[in-house]
Amino acid sequence: MINLSRDIHSLTEFKRNTTEFLQRIKQTKHPLVLTVNGKAELVVQDAESYQKLLDAAELLETLKGIKLGLEQMQQGKGKKAEDFFESEISSRHPTRSAKGNRRSLFLV
């Protein structure tokens, strides 16, 4: 979480004290907001915390997709896996049939 009194600095100040700011970012795992002419322009964050943020965003998108799928299923908008795979295989490989290759179809 950003601390407004500690984590907002000017870009000029950051340039002058880059080493100290980088040490603080690595220790606290808090991002810095850098301003230009008094307006927030950049956020500087350690790589590990940024990766965690990306992972959390990806998980959230996955959960939203699952929720949407469950809602659609409850509304009867779903499609049986067997029908889905049959149409997918037929569209990608017109000479093949999914029904003849049931052993090779797995849902994971």
- For residue 108, what pLDDT is reported? 46
Q: Which two tokens stand for residue 9?
A: 């600095």
Question: CATH code for 1-45?
Answer: 3.40.1620
**Residue ranges covered by each domain of the chain:** 1-45, 51-85
Nearest to 10 by CA among 32, 26, 25: 32
Is residue 13 a contact partner of residue 36, using CB atoms and an 8 Å limit? no
Please report the DSSP string for 25-81 in residue order. Answer: HHHH---EEEEETTEEEEEE--HHHHHHHHHHHHHHHHHHHHHHHHHHHHTT----H
- For residue 81, what pLDDT is reported? 83
Phi, psi angle pair for 53, to nearest 5° = -65, -45
Question: pLDDT per residue over 38-87, tens digit each?
Answer: 999 999 999 999 999 999 999 999 999 999 989 988 898 877 888 888 88
Higher model confidence: residue 103 or residue 83?
A: 83
Residue 106 — very low, low, confident or very high, per pLDDT cuts 50/70/90? Answer: very low
- For residue 80, what pLDDT is reported? 81
As a whole number of Å, the CA-based R_g of the chain is 25
Global confidence as pTM = 0.64
- For residue 99, what pLDDT is reported? 57
Higher model confidence: residue 93 or residue 48?
A: 48
d(CA 99, CA 45): 52
* Share above pLDDT 90 across residues of the chain, in percent, rounded to a whole number: 57
- For residue 83, what pLDDT is reported? 85
